[in-house]
Amino acid sequence: MADTCLSGICNPRRTQGRVARPSGRVNLLVLQGPGLFVGASVAKQGGDTDITSVILDIDGRNVVNLTYAAARNFGLTQPNPFGLVLHQTQAIDNVTIGYPSPLRFERELVLAVDVNEPNVVQVTANVIHGTP
């Protein structure tokens, strides 16, 4: 008999990716499908201009591509129905991604950053995901 998770996500888990002193595009996490994306957090320490982009691609389609500066300029600093929120402190900028319903991926989920600013010390990402 097949295992089913009624109205939930089977096998929920957190996967983390981290890179120190990044430059250019860096894939923080690559998850193989099928799976369900529940949410993510991408924290950046350092950087002078916040023109580092957070990029989420699901099955080869772009879902998120937004700089930390753009998130601030667009007013995505409070919970909102768009699913993206920027939280800032003096030391850390953190973009969170989450939608009312999980996003299904069949082949691959890629969470990346494109660092186009000096003095980024590290970027850490956490993704909550599971199986359908």
Residues 46/120, Cβ–Cβ less than 8 Å: yes
Q: What is the pLDDT of residue 2?
A: 52
**pLDDT for 132:** 83
Mean pLDDT of the chain: 93
- Give the pLDDT confidence of 60-79 residue by residue, as tens digits: 999 999 999 999 999 999 98
Residue 59 has pLDDT above 80, yes or no: yes
Question: Is 103's pLDDT higher than 50?
Answer: yes
Indicate the Cα dihedral angle 78, 31, 2, 99, nearest 10°.
Answer: 10
Q: For residues 105 and 13, is the Cβ–Cβ distance under 8 A?
A: no
Where residue 82 falls among pLDDT bands split at 50, 70, 90?
confident
pTM for the whole structure: 0.93
| Best CA proximity match to 53, nearest among 75, 82, 77, 24 | 24
Provide the pairing of β-strand 53-58 with 35-46. unpaired
Please give the average per-residue pLDDT across 22-40, as a whole number. 97
Task: Tell me the sheet residues that pair with 39.
Answer: 98, 128
Confidence class for position 1, pLDDT limits 50, 70, 90: very low
- Evaluated on CA atoms 80, 102, 124, 64, the torsion sign reads negative
